[in-house]
Amino acid sequence: MALSPLSKPEQRAVRVNKQTKPSKTYALDLDNGTIGGYIDGLDALKQFIRKTLATPRYRYMIYNGQYGCEMESLIGQDLPAAQLQSSLPRMIKDALIYDDRIRDVTGFAYRRENDTLFVTFAVSTTLGTIQEEVTV
């Protein structure tokens, strides 16, 4: 069937079935710097979240401009709590939301201990909700 501008839109439309991309990847031990086997599904997604938030954005040429997080720019700055609470959710959400498996990042909570700020949040994914915590 040839495509013609005279045919009806229903006849010209092409139906595309969106397929979920496989998430099988190497299992990284980010604390020890080792690789051990493979992971898939929810474990792979948790690793993606942790690795993305631990990687400074724009630092490594191997990653595109979407990969990584800009939280490193906050380290050492004496920012008011209100500014941190408005900047951190945006930075974390921007780092994660471009992945097709992640639907939303919500429920941010903050806890400060000495010079360390702990940020807890929920990541809503196609595989369920994941609770995460990062340290700034």
- For 30-81, how does the pLDDT look when each residue is reduced to its tens digit (9 = 90+)? 788 888 889 888 989 998 999 888 888 888 888 888 888 888 777 777 777 7
Pick the closest to residue 130 from 41, 42, 71, 13 (CA basis): 42
Give pTM, 2 decimals.
0.75
Q: Quick one: CATH architecture of 23-135? A: Roll (3.10)
For the chain, what is the largest distance between any 2 Cα atoms, rounded to a whole number of angstroms?
70
DSSP state of 74: G
